[in-house]
Amino acid sequence: MRARVKTNLARVAMLILGLGLSSFAAAEEVPAGEAPDVANSGKTQYVLAVSWQPGFCETRPNRSECADQTPDRFDATHFSLHGLWPLKKSYCGVEAELKARDRKGDWLELPKLAMADETAARLLVAMPGVKSGLDRHQWLQSGTCQTAKAEDYFKLQLRLLDELNNSAVQALFADKLGSEIDEKEIKQAFNESFGAGAGDRVRMRCQTVNGRSVITGLTIGLAGDLSGKAGLESLIQAAGTTEFKCAKGIADAAGRS
């Protein structure tokens, strides 16, 4: 009897020890300097990709949307749309022939999208890549997996872009045109505008041009219901964290070479 009690006590002790080790391991997985937060440990479901157009045009000067870029244009001092992507899903319900045409890259040969004149006009400003058919490509590859109408897909992005362009993040880039910005500054601007930890859900894209590391854009993790009126802050906070990747780069000014 005593032997059985000792055995049971030993099993309980091992169970408690195992639970303790499991909790310790979970705590160790939290990035250094970040407190474990169950409320902010979600999974990223979508990625909002925005371009810093002057930097992008340094790398693609022959693109239609880059040929007439000037310092007084909206995309010279504000972020512009690249796309909104659901993770691990693409070309939902798109026929094989149309999918093959899209992948060839001749996006202006794809079907024109149906949307209100007002939305189309706003998109032309917010997404300079429309001149290269980027809107048609993004709709086929990603929009078809999110909503039934291109109008709804792009109106959502325009709303989220407006929030970004009215934030401390845009102000930082506009204030430092032609100068280098680092990871700490950008994360701080995101945290200021979209809540603590928002900067940990952002990744920066850079490319080397003539020996200069130029910022070409940002990708922002999102999660939650995109069909409602959720703001950018709540969508960012619900996403998982990511690596920033490019630690610093130049916020290029339009026309710089």
Q: What is the DSSP letter of 242?
A: -
The answer to whether the CB of 55 falls within 8 A of the CB of 250 is yes
User: What six digits make up the tokens of 49?
Assistant: 């990709």
Rounded to an integer, the average pLDDT of 2-22 is: 38
Tens of pLDDT along 127-182?
Answer: 999 999 999 999 999 999 999 999 999 999 999 999 999 999 999 999 999 999 99
SS3 assignment for 41-101: CCCCCEEEEEECHHHHHHHCCCCHHHCCCCCCCHHHCCCEEEEEEECCCCCCCCCHHHHHH
Position 229 pLDDT exceeds 60: yes
Chain center to CA of 243: 12
pTM of the model: 0.83
Q: Where are the beta strands (DSSP E) in the chain?
A: 46-51, 80-86, 180-182, 202-209, 212-222, 248-250
pLDDT at 117: 97
pLDDT at 45: 97
Phi first, then psi: give them for residue 244, nearest 5 degrees: -75, -30
Rounded Cα–Cα distance for residues 38 and 30 (Å) = 11
Inter-CA distances, 223 with 32, 47, 91, 144, 187, Å: 23, 9, 20, 18, 19
Considering 15-19, 33-37, 187-191, the range whose residues carry the highest mean pLDDT is 187-191
160 burial class (0-12, 13-18, 19+ CB within 10 angstroms)? buried
pLDDT at 227: 86
pLDDT at 11: 43
Residue 59's CB is within 10 A of a number of other CB atoms, namely: 15
Q: What is the DSSP letter of 184?
A: H
Q: What is the DSSP letter of 121?
A: H
Q: Which of 161, 200, 202 minimizes the C-alpha distance to 79?
A: 161
